[in-house]
Structure 1
Amino acid sequence: MNQEKKVLGSERRELLLHWLQTEDKPLTGGELASRTNVSRQVIVQDISLLKAKNEPILATSQGYVYLKPPGEQRKKERIIVSFHPPEKTEEELYIIVDHGVTIKDVKIEHPVYGDLTASVMVSTRSEVDDFIKKIHETKAAYLSQLTDGTHLHTLEAESEEKLDAACKALKDAGMLIE
């Protein structure tokens, strides 16, 4: 933290909410901490307080995002079922983002816990690279490993045509279950 004055309590949370609502990209805890001159841990607590007030904030691997109400979303969404081994994950994600499509999440049906969903939120090759790097650095398992490769993704794009093109490419690669 630098020597500037800290932004305190409710004023800070109002600022965080404003920034999250107006940004089109995820904002990291570190970036928000720097803007308000507090620690990242304080930001994590602030985000928890905002979520407790039913603010639709999602923590992704790229940072925090504010989920816009359905009426404000002009983008098209589609849920697909995919199947591949873990070593094909990067290829799958590249295929999708190369068609101008965002991968919002990954879902599996766990035999004990039921439906499990994790945020992915990648839209570019660079974001895919960061996601894969975090998986490797943390030695985390892909959710799809719990279901022998079967998983769902929520995809988002500006048009049905982009979603169709991404799905066709996945089908051609043998990764799409229809």
Structure 2
Amino acid sequence: MLEGEERRQAIVARLKASNLAISASKFAEEFGVSRQVIVGDVALLRAAGEEIIATARGYKLEKIAPETGYVAKIAVQHGKEATQEELEIILSFGAEVIDVIVEHELYGELVGSLHIRNQEDIQRFMEKYRKSKANLLSQLTNGIHLHTIRYQRATDLDKIKAALAEKGILYQG
């Protein structure tokens, strides 16, 4: 069993070698420690400057690579039952849902990394949500939230907004 610093360096090495997210549970099993120990290790690594992001699928290193396309934030509002539909609409135009953002009364802006790029990512996220006892961040704000999205053509943003508005999901204020 690896100890502290040695285990943290092994976590970084595994993340660098993988293009896929790796869950805390998988790391815990691999290193013979609890999931909470891994969560603590990742917190220490992030505090030391490692660009580790937590997604619904697990941890990934934030790869600093030139991304193509455009990035924008869209404001939406819906109940938890429309979450999958919202994501599917955005992805139907070839976009990626990078994150979800809510404005919390006490903590200010809260951001959850999503990095949802395809239908499989949506299914994985929704399955994890159904199995967990966790609430969606949007449930803290009466369903109002932002998504940062990446899309390929300048005209895609208007199409995405129009499709969300048609379903009553785009926030109108």
- Tell me the TM-score range normalised by the shorter chain: 0.7 to 0.9
Structure 2 stretches lacking a partner, 5+ long: none
Q: Is the 8 A contact 1:83 1:175 kept in 2?
A: yes
Superposition RMSD in Å = 2.7
Distance change (3 Å), C-alpha of 1:16 and 1:73: farther
Output the CA distance in 2 between the equivalents of 1:29 and 1:162: 39
Q: Is the 8 A contact 1:62 1:121 kept in 2?
A: no
Output the CA distance in 1 between the equivalents of 2:26 and 2:91: 25
Distance change (3 Å), C-alpha of 1:17 and 1:115: same
Equivalent position to 2:66, from 57, 73, 80: 73
Are 1:103 and 2:97 matched, yes or no? yes
Output the CA distance in 2 between the equivalents of 1:83 and 1:118: 16
Aligned-residue offset at 1:63: 0.5
Q: Normalising by the residue count of structure 1, what TM-score does the alignment of the two structures yield?
A: 0.76
Q: Which stretch of structure 1 is more off in the superposition, 59-68 or 19-28?
A: 19-28
Distance change (3 Å), C-alpha of 1:161 and 1:21: farther
Are 1:134 and 2:154 matched, yes or no? no
User: Percent of aligned positions with the same letter in both sequences?
Assistant: 33
| 2:56 paired residue number | 61
Are 1:84 and 2:75 matched, yes or no? no
Structure 1 stretches lacking a partner, 5+ long: 1-5
Are 1:147 and 2:141 matched, yes or no? yes
Aligned-residue offset at 1:15: 3.7
| 1:3 paired residue number | none
Distance change (3 Å), C-alpha of 1:13 and 1:121: same
Deviations 1:84-117 (A, max 9, x none): 2221111001112233322222111123332222
Structure 1 residue ranges (4+ consecutive) displaced by more than 6 angstroms after TM superposition: none
Aligned-residue offset at 1:40: 4.9
Q: Is the 8 A contact 2:76 2:170 kept in 1?
A: yes
Output the CA distance in 1 between the equivalents of 2:139 and 2:31: 40
Q: Which amino acid aligns with 1:17?
A: V
The number of residues matched between the two structures is: 169
| 2:167 paired residue number | 173
